[in-house]
Amino acid sequence: MDFELSDDQRAIVEAVDTLLAQHAGPKRAIELFASGEYDAPLEAALGNAGFLGVALADETGPLEAALCVEAVARAAGAVAIGASALVAPGVAGRTLPGPIALASADRSPIVRFGAHARTLLVVDSQAGLARIVTLSPGDAEPVRSNFGYPMGRVARALEKSGERLAPGSHERLLAWWRVALATEAAGTMRAALGVTIDYLKQRRQFGRAIASFQAVQHRLAECSVMVEGARWLAFEAAWRGAPAEVAATAAAYAAAAAARVFLETHQLSGAIGYTREHDLHVFSMRLEALRLELGGVGGHRRALARARWGGGA
Amino acid sequence: MAFGSEEQKREHLPRISQGDVLWCQGFSEPQAGSDLVALRTLATRDGDAYVVNGTKIWTSYANYAEFCFLVVRTDPESKRHRGISVLLMPMSLPGVEIREIPSVVGERYFHEVFLSDVRVPASCRLGPENDGWSVVTYALQFERVGAARYARAALTLDGLAVRLAKEGRLEDPTVQEKLGRARAICEAARLLSYRVIDLRAHGQPPSADSNVARVAGTFADRVVGELGLDLFGPDALEYGGFAESNFRLAMTAGVAVGATEVQLNLIAQRFLGLPQE
């Protein structure tokens, strides 16, 4: 993998950033979250511009899709971008009708975008495959949550219905899900850190900018090392087509980094960071939701270790 | 490659690329550690040679090295970054005395190098006189990813896993989580180091990306070093064992090649654009 974006990749990121500047951003995320809405206009705009099919297009692939996912997460898009742009193409080999929610039959029924989803992608480990379930209105109920995404509870019975994909497809779903959440976490962390740094540069106490204190700088610098690590691990995992070990590596690193970034950005931002008028919470609260998916950091680490060195579940 | 004369390139590059010559680095001094520009070792021009006097410290491989990448002050009136030059000094010259500093890192690891009226030919100077600091900072950007510590940490981790497998401990979810954590940290360090190398290969000038990679490498070294002891308990305390040998090297990670705090300062200022006081 090249670590310098090609001109074409740069153009894709610029184009999606331009679209996001018009259709997304933390202020819009705050409004949508207050009313519990899904950003259908943003999803439509991304779809019309071709950004949801980047993984399957001739000239592009999953790496370019991951670049888009990271950008949407940075802009706090209230859409299931990872599921649409990375997971569905990676597992089903086609784009699926959105919003798309991801669920696992042996994990919590509370999932991101559950109540809005038209398509549910399900890990069915017992049957040893993945399912594509088409949801009707009322199939899932909204769950009140403070964690940045509209959450929904999916009825357990639904997870045994729908189109059965090939045997073993649940492993592909698990891997692409991990890549998607790692990529979304990477973009969300970058934005959370950016919001924090902007604030600490202008906030003055003791007669100087808070960002000029070395004790503060070192913590921000350590966070930036983790955010950069998470970002490149996620991009590499997408570029390599989500092998189980590499996908689990990206997710394990991102989930641990997310916890640290949440802690540091809030601690350094002080009381303003908890308010709904300040942008930090848009990103930070999402990080907590992301880091709990698929067994959380412990689940990803165990999956990594088993994929690399063997040892049972 | 960037600063050498044609003669220096002819003399040194083939042997360096073949890996049949050992160098050491004469950077730190007793009064100039993290604050390297406080260095005092003086090189006074005398005809076609510099007469060098001073002390270098913590020099690894000084006992084996044929040459030293020696940073000296060539203008005695100068302060800080000005007046510094780099000499490619043969270690066999008269007046070079090496003394080992016993340490818990291991035998023959740290040395002091005493330089007493060492006559170093002027042709050994790398780059311009009194503007060697640019050479030093350029070299340090590479050194920070040059030593592939993440690779050693990752290899050690694989070695630990092999030993755990023999003891039937890989089924233990706690062990799996610890191994997984360490592996992810090693992989992040690998990618960030590759990124720096890739950016240089694309002709990008050195940047704070190398400090980011260096800190990630330090995290990798630390997590594997600690984990090795953790997993094998008091069995790992015996000198020379697999985990113990790794621990001794890993424990220097945050200090070697510039303290982590210095790297974090550079990341804060150059990568994040944070203000100085």
B265 reaches A (C-beta below 8 A): yes
Average pLDDT of B106-120? 93
Kindly determine whether residue A4 and residue B202, on different chains, have CB atoms separated by under 8 Å: yes
How many Å lie between the alpha carbon of A2 and the closest alpha carbon of chain B? Answer: 7
A283-306: average pLDDT: 97
Strands B23-26 and B67-73: parallel
Full strand arrangement of the beta sheet holding A140-143: A110-112, A151-154, A140-143
Closest in B181, B263, B267 to A252, CB measured: B181
Q: Nearest CA of chain B to the CA of A229: how many Å?
A: 5
Instruction: Indicate if B143 belongs to the active site.
Output: yes
Chain A hits for B273, CB-CB cut-off 8 Å, are 197
State yes or no: pLDDT of B160 exceeds 80.
Answer: yes
pLDDT > 70? residue A35: yes
DSSP A158: G
Which distant-in-sequence residues (6+ apart) come within 8 Å of A167 by Cβ?
A128, A129
pLDDT given at position A137: 83
Signed CA dihedral, A258, A259, A265, A270: sign only? positive
Nearest to B88 by CA among B72, B111, B64: B72
Residue A309 has pLDDT above 90, yes or no: yes
Least CB–CB distance from B192: residue in A228, A248, A304: A228
pLDDT reported for residue B147: 58
Model confidence at B141: pLDDT above 80: no
Q: How far apart are CA A217 and CA B267, in angstroms?
A: 9
Q: Is the pLDDT of residue A101 over 70?
A: yes
Q: At what angle do helices A7-23 and A62-74 cross, to 10 degrees?
A: 30
- Residue A41 to residues A101, A138, B160, Cα–Cα distance (Å): 17, 21, 51
| Whole-complex ipTM | 0.95
Among candidates A3, A211, A309 on the partner chain, residue whose Cβ is nearest the Cβ of B199: A3
Report CB contact under 8 Å: A232, B192. yes
Which candidate in B34, B178, B264, B271 is best for mutational testing of the A interface (most A CBs within 10 A)?
Answer: B264
pLDDT at B144 over 70: no
Kindly give the pairing relationship between strand B125-126 and strand B23-26: unpaired
- At residue A160, does pLDDT exceed 90? no
Pairing of the two strands A119-124 and A100-104: parallel
Please report which confidence band the pLDDT of residue B65 belongs to, taking 50, 70 and 90 as the band edges: very high
Which fold would CATH assign to domain A170-309? Butyryl-CoA Dehydrogenase, subunit A; domain 3 (1.20.140)
% of chain A beyond a pLDDT of 90: 93
Test A309 with B216 for CB contact under 8 angstroms: no
Express each pLDDT in A178-204 by its tens digit.
999 999 999 999 999 999 999 999 999
Q: What is the pLDDT of residue A313?
A: 65
Cβ under 8 Å to A: B residues 153-172: 158, 161, 164-165, 170-172
Position A4 scores a pLDDT of 85
Nearest residue in chain A measured CA to CA from B173: A302
What is the pLDDT, as a whole number, of residue B61?
Answer: 87
Chosen for mutation from A225, A249, A265 (greatest number of chain B CBs closer than 10 Å) is A225
The CATH number assigned to the domain with range B147-271 reads 1.20.140.10
Look up tokens 């690891």; give the residue.
Answer: B109
pLDDT band of A277, cuts 50, 70, 90: very high
- Nearest-angstrom CA–CA distance, A292 and A288: 7
R_g of chain B, CA atoms, integer Å: 21
pLDDT for the residue numbered B146: 59
Tell me if A225 and B215 make a contact (CB, 8 A cut-off).
Answer: yes
Report d(CA A28, CA A116) in Å as an integer. 18
Beta-carbon contacts below 8 Å between A and B: 141
B210/B214 Cα distance (integer angstroms): 6
Task: Among A258-272, B175-189, B243-257, name the one with the lowest average pLDDT.
Answer: B243-257
Scanning every residue of chain B, which has its alpha carbon at the shortest distance from the alpha carbon of A198? B274
Query: Which range, of A222-226, B115-119, B136-140, B225-229, averages the lowest pLDDT?
Result: B136-140
The answer to whether residue B91 scores a pLDDT higher than 90 is yes
Query: Across residues A197-215, what is the average pLDDT?
Result: 97
SS3 of residue A196 by DSSP: helix
CATH 2.40.110.10 holds for B6-136:
yes
Mapping DSSP to helix (H, G, I), strand (E, B) and coil, where does residue B43 land? strand
Of A159, A150, A173, the residue nearest A40 (C-alpha): A150
Looking at chain A, the whole-number percentage of residues with pLDDT higher than 70 is 100
A115-150 pLDDT, tens digit per residue, is 999 999 999 999 999 999 999 988 899 999 999 999
Task: Give the span between the Cα atoms of A281 and A266, in whole angstroms.
Answer: 9
pLDDT digits (tens, 9 = 90+) for A58-94: 999 999 999 999 999 999 999 999 999 999 999 999 9
B145 vs A163, residue with greater confidence? A163
**Statement: residue B20 has pLDDT above 90:** no
Closest chain A residue to B214, measured at CA: A225
Smallest CA-to-CA distance from A190 within B169, B218, B271, B104 is with B271
Nearest CB among B179, B268, B277 relative to A218 is that of B268
Determine the pLDDT at residue B106. 86
Report residue A103: phi and psi, to 5°. -140, 160
Digit-coded pLDDT (tens) for B217-251: 999 999 999 999 999 999 999 999 999 999 998 99
